[in-house]
Amino acid sequence: MCWLALLLVRIIETTTGHIWHHLRDELDTLHVGTFTGPAGTYRQRTELTKPQRDILAKLDLTPPKKIVELTPAAA
């Protein structure tokens, strides 16, 4: 498992041109918040920064959806 994780880290580093610590720090600021109101509850991710969008684009990954989960209020 450790060897596989190291291989994945190296592939990500060579593809993006950045070291793992920089990438991890940048992506670590991506969060999901839970919000509740009269219409119900929803979970939403923070807005992607330009560096985060660049990292995902270089890795050919689709950005996560803005609204992760939506639960309407009970009638």
**What's the whole-model pTM score?**
0.81
Residue 23: other Cβ atoms inside 10 A: 19
- At 74 the pLDDT is 84
Say whether pLDDT at 17 is over 80.
yes
Coil, strand, or helix at residue 21?
Answer: helix
Domain positions in the chain: 2-72
**pLDDT digit string (tens) for 18-56?**
999 999 999 999 999 999 999 899 999 999 999 999 999
DSSP state of 62: P
- At 65 the pLDDT is 94
